[in-house]
Amino acid sequence: MSDDVDGNAAFWKSDTEVAGWIAGSGEREQRRRAQRRLMADLLPFSEGEPFVFVDLGAGTGAAARAVLERHPAATALLADYSPPMAEAGAHALEPFRGRYRYVEFDLGGGPWPDAIPECVDAVVSSMCLHHLPDARKAQLCAEVFTRLVPGGWFLDYDVVAADDPEVEAAWDRADRRDPEAGLQHPHHAREGRHHAEALYISPLTSLLGFLRSAGFEAIDVFWKQLDTVLVGGRRPR
C-alpha cells in the first residue's frame, strides 16, 4: 500500500523477500497455468488481431505471458510497483521483447500513471487483488471500468474467502484429501513459507458486487475450484 501500514510495500520491494518468493513459486505457478490460459481464451479477440491490455499487479508477468502467447498481435502493459519483481519478469518475458513494458503503479491508491493510455482494450489481474482492502478493490474496479473501451473486458483470477463456516470446513477436507487440488491461498502452508505482507481475501459475493457496482455487464464466475476463482465482466458497448 502507499503508506505501507500493512507491510506490503516492504515485502514486495525487498530483493531478499522477492527472491525467496520466486524460489518457491515453481509448483505454485505450474498449478495456475491452465486458469491463466483460460483467461487468455476468454478475451474476445481473433487470432492476429492487435490489441492493448493491462496486467494489474503483474509481478513477474505470468498472466501477461499467457495472453501474449495466445494472442500474437497483443501488446501488454504490466503495472506493478515492485522493482525486483519487474526485473525477474523482464527475464521471463524475454521471448516477448518489444510486445510489453513495465509501468510503475501502486495499486493501493493514487492516480493511474500517464504511461497507461486513457482507453485500453482489456485488463487482467492475477493473484493480486487480495492484497487490497475491500474499499480499494471496489474503487479499483470502477477505475478499470473507466479505462476500458466500450465492450472491453476485465478478468480477475484470485482467491476468495468463504462466508459460511461449513463451506470453509468442506474446503479444508478437500485440501487434506487431495493436496494437488487443494486450497491455493497465498498464505497456505503448501505455498511455502508464510508471507509477511497483509492479505485481504474477500468472499466471492463481494468481488461480484464490486464488478456490478462499477457498471460491468456479462459478469460471470468463469471458473472456480474451492477457494480459487476466475471472474470478470464487460464494459457495455
16-67 pLDDT, tens per residue?
A: 665 565 665 566 677 889 999 999 999 999 989 999 999 999 999 999 999 9
Ordered DSSP codes for 20-76: HHHHT-HHHHHHTHHHHHHHHHHS---TT--EEEEEET-TTTHHHHHHHHH-TTEEE
Strand pairing category for 74-80 and 100-104: parallel
Is 155 exposed, middle or buried (CB count within 10 Å of its CB: 0-12, 13-18, 19+)? Answer: buried
**Per-residue confidence (pLDDT) for residue 113, from 0 to 100:** 95
**Per-residue confidence (pLDDT) for residue 119, from 0 to 100:** 97
**Per-residue confidence (pLDDT) for residue 15, from 0 to 100:** 55
Q: Using alpha carbons only, what angle is made at residue 231 by residues 196 and 164, rounded to the nearest 5 degrees?
A: 65
Is there a contact between 100 and 75 (Cβ–Cβ < 8 Å)?
A: yes
In order of their start, the domains of the chain are 8-234 (3.40.50.150)
Low-confidence ranges of the chain (pLDDT < 50): 1-2, 5, 181-196
**Per-residue confidence (pLDDT) for residue 65, from 0 to 100:** 96
Which residues, in sequence order, are bridge partners of residue 96?
none
Residue 54 dihedral angles phi and psi, to the nearest 5°: -110, 135
